[in-house]
Amino acid sequence: MPLETHAFGTLADGREARLIELHNGNGMSVGVTDLGASLVSVRVPDRRGGRPDVTLGFDGAYGYQDNPWCFGTTVGRCANRIAGATFELAGTTYRLAANEGANNLHSGPHAYGERLWKVIEAKGSSVSLNLLSRPGDQGFPGALDVTVTYALDEGDRLRISYEALPSEATIVNLTCHAYWNLNGQASGSVLAHGLTIAADAYTPTDGQGIPTGEVAGLGKTPHDFRTGKQVGADIWRVPNGYDVNFVLRDGEAHESAATLVGERSGIAMDVTTSAPGLQLFVPGGLDCRGKDGARYQAFDAVALETQFFPDAIHHKGFPQPVFTPEHPFRSWTEFAFRTVG
C-alpha cells in the first residue's frame, strides 16, 4: 500500500516536522515522524474488530520537542546509563553530561529524539531516516552516520533496523523507546497484561540503576517472567516500577525476547531481536498528557528496550558496544502482532 505523509507541526527554529504512515493489507498502520525518528502510533486489529493505537505518544511535534519520557524516540548515541558520566576508550577519557545524578542517561541533552532526521528512502510500507552525528557529539568520540528503517509487512510485523557507521572507535547502543499498552494507549494500567521474557538472568544494580557487574539468576526475584505472569503480579516488591536489564537467553542469536499480551484487547506482541539485552521499564512515576488528551499515569505502559546492557563500557564481562569504521553497528528488533483468546 502507498505511504502517506502529513504535516506534523513546526519546530522552534521554523522547520517543519512530517508524519509518515505505513499501512499493510490487514488493517495495521504505523506512524513515524522525522522528529527523533520516533514511533508515533501503532494501530493493530484486536479480537473485537477494533483497531486501537497501542503505543503512547503525542498528537504533534510540540510534544516530541519536550519529551522527557522519550516516548517512541530513537535513543542514541548510547541508550541507558553510563556511570559517572565518563568512560575510557583506547587510553582517552571522555566526559559526558551528568543528567541523572552523577550519571549519564540516554546520552544526555540534545538527544537524538529532539533532532530532525532526514528521510532518505520511503517506499511501499518502509521508511528509512538518517542522522549525521558530528565528531564529539554529546562528548562521544568521532562522528556517527546513523540510519533507522521502519518496515511493516503483511504478517503484522514491524521491524526496526539500525545501521551506524562511526568515523573512529566509539560507543553505539541504539534502541526504540516505545511505550506499549496493548489495550490502547488511553486505556489505563498495564498491570494485568501478561508478560513472558526469554531470560534466565539479569544484571543487578545499585541504588542509582548502575549495574554491579554481576549476572544473577532470577531465582525467586520479582523479575522472573520465564513462564509468564501478569506485569503487576509482583509489583508490590518493586514499588517504583520495573527498570531492569535482562540477559536474553539466546544473546545475539536472533531468537524471541519477550511476549506481551493485552488482557482486554487480546492483542499479543512477540518481540524478537539481535540485541543481547532487554530493559523492562514499567514507570511508577509516569504522569503527563498524551495523545487525544489522554492522561498517562503510573503503570500505564510497558517499555521493552532491546539493547546492550547498561554501563557495559565499565564491565568487560558484558557484551561491549564499541564499534569502528571496520566494524559498524547493526541491529534490529521486530514487533509481531497477533490476537489470542
Q: What's the grid cell of residue 78?
A: 548510547
Q: Given 21, 193, 223, 305, which residue is catalytic?
A: 305
> pTM for this structure?
0.97
* The pairing of beta strand 38-43 with beta strand 170-171: unpaired
Confidence (pLDDT) at 58: 98
pLDDT value at residue 1? 57
Query: Was 178 annotated as part of a binding site?
Result: yes
Q: Residue 192 annotated as binding?
A: no
Structural contact between residues 45 and 28, judged by C-beta atoms closer than 8 angstroms: yes
Please tell me whether 243 is known to bind a ligand: yes
> Residue 313: its pLDDT value, please?
98
What fold does the segment set 4-339 form as a domain? Beta-galactosidase; Chain A, domain 5 (2.70.98)
Residue 223 known to be catalytic: no
How far is the CA of 272 from the CAs of 144, 207, 337, in angstroms?
26, 30, 12
The full set of domain ranges for the chain reads: 4-339
**Which CA distances in Å does 84 have to 174, 208, 306, 314?**
20, 11, 23, 10
Residue of 177, 193, 223, 315 with catalytic role: 177
Rounded mean pLDDT for each run of 10 residues along the chain, 341 residues in total: 86 96 96 98 96 97 95 98 98 98 97 97 95 97 98 97 98 98 98 97 96 96 97 94 94 79 98 96 97 97 98 97 98 97 86
305 is catalytic: yes
Of 130, 94, 98, residue with least CA distance to 112: 130
Q: Is 81 annotated as a binding residue?
A: yes
